[in-house]
Amino acid sequence: MSALFEFCLRMGDNTLVLGHRVSEWCGHAPVLEEDIALANTALDLIGQTQMWLGLAADVEGQGRSADDLAFLRDAWDFRNLLLVEQPNGDFGVTMMRQFLFDAWHLGQLETLIDSADDRVSAIAQKAIKEVTYHFDRSSGLVIGLGDGSDESHARMQTALDLLWPFAGEGFEADATDLELAGAGIAPNPAGLRAAFDARVEQVLQRATLSLPESRFAHRGGRTGARHSEHLGHMLATMQVLQRSYPGATW
């Protein structure tokens, strides 16, 4: 498996899994405006998935399509961060997950726009406009809810404590990362940590939330070694139609 193929799966699986998770809110959000915002965010993420998994399929050159990669792979073939497969929880957990992902995603895309691979750069240039907007929204909600009522503050702190151990995985580097960093195609994720910390701390401070001290990080999602039990359940829902009626179109 080529490093570039692996990298495209990592990018595309993040946006696919989070896009599906966020779409689970459709029709259930606390207020209409947030329902629409969540659905639009999910739509952007699924659009980005089509670009990343489309490139993965081209790079692989085995005749698989972006749809084949999304609907016909099993949980152990997915390369998304554990963070994005975590269940939605309450609205606070969903927004904290979005905020931590957006902060990581934005840092990643900022370097990918200068990728030595034109196809990677083109996707990053497109996606960064949408992700800048996502980060603006999720930061605003984290601040508004964190520095809100006692109830909303408590829920946001609980969400941060729950999700923080999943924030570190995005900065781990393996042989794939080192190969791509050497070729100037993608950054070494370890080098993005400082900017991420600064970005996150600035928002959390305004949100009156405290960052947990532990840097312990769950890992195993982006390598596919050990996903959480939640991914399989999510895929069962997401893939059921193509698995039950292979090749179905409409």
Partner 1 sequence: MTPIAQVWEWLDAVPDPEIPVISVTDLGIVRDVDWEDGTLIVTVTPTYSGCPATSVIAMDIETALRDHGVDRIAIRQQLAPPWTTDWLKPAARDKLKTYGIAPPQPAGGPESCPHCGSANVERISQFGSTPCKAQWRCRDCLEPFDYFKCI
Q: Are 106 and 132 in contact (CB under 8 A)?
A: yes
CB of 123 to partner 1, least distance (A): 6
What is the per-residue binding string for partner 1 in 93-132, x denoting contact by CB under 8 A? -------------------------x--xxx-xxx-xx--
CB of 118 to partner 1, least distance (A): 8
How long a stretch of residues is the chain? 250
Choose between 21 and 227: whose C-beta lies nearer to partner 1. 21
Residues 16-45 that bind partner 1 (CB under 8 A): 33-34, 36-37, 39-41, 43-45
Q: Which of 105, 137, 155, 227 binds partner 1 (CB under 8 A)?
A: 137
Choose between 130 and 169: whose C-beta lies nearer to partner 1. 130
Token look-up 């909303």 returns: 152
Residues 43-62 that bind partner 1 (CB under 8 A): 43-48, 50-51
d(CA 189, CA 178): 9
Q: Which residues of 83-107 are buried (b: 16+ CB within 10 A; e: fewer)?
A: bbbbeebebbbbbbbbbbbbbbbbb
Q: Which residues of 213-231 are buried (b: 16+ CB within 10 A; e: fewer)?
A: eeeebbbebbebeebbeeb
Which residues here bind partner 1, judged by CB under 8 A? 33-34, 36-37, 39-41, 43-48, 50-51, 118, 121-123, 125-127, 129-130, 133, 136-137
